[in-house]
Chains A and B, each alone.
Chain A
Amino acid sequence: DAKTTQPNSMESNEEEPVHLPCNHSTISGTDYIHWYRQLPSQGPEYVIHGLTSNVNNRMASLAIAEDRKSSTLILHRATLRDAAVYYCILRGGADGLTFGKGTHLIIQP
Chain B
Amino acid sequence: NAGVTQTPKFQVLKTGQSMTLQCAQDMNHEYMSWYRQDPGMGLRLIHYSVGAGITDQGEVPNGYNVSRSTTEDFPLRLLSAAPSQTSVYFCASSYYGVSPYNEQFFGPGTRLTVL
**Measuring CB to CB, which residues of chain A are less than 8 angstroms from any residue of chain B?**
32, 34, 36, 42-46, 49, 87, 91, 93-102
Q: How far in angstroms is the closest Cβ of chain B from A8?
A: 11
Number of interface residues of B (CB under 8 A): 27
**Measuring CB to CB, which residues of chain B are less than 8 angstroms from any residue of chain A?**
4, 31, 33, 35, 40-45, 48, 50, 56, 58-59, 90, 92, 96, 100-101, 103-109
Question: A5 vs B35: C-alpha distance in the bound complex, in angstroms?
Answer: 21
Interface centre among B40, B104, B105 (most CB of A within 10 A): B104
B33 surroundings in chain A (CB, below 8 A): 96
Count A-B pairs with CB separation below 8 Å.
56
Question: A31 vs B35: C-alpha distance in the bound complex, in angstroms?
Answer: 21
Structural contact, B104 and A97, CB atoms closer than 8 A: yes
Contact of B101 among A49, A87, A102 (CB under 8 A): A49
Taking CB as reference atom, which chain B residue is nearest A93? B100
Q: How far in angstroms is the closest Cβ of chain B from A27?
A: 14
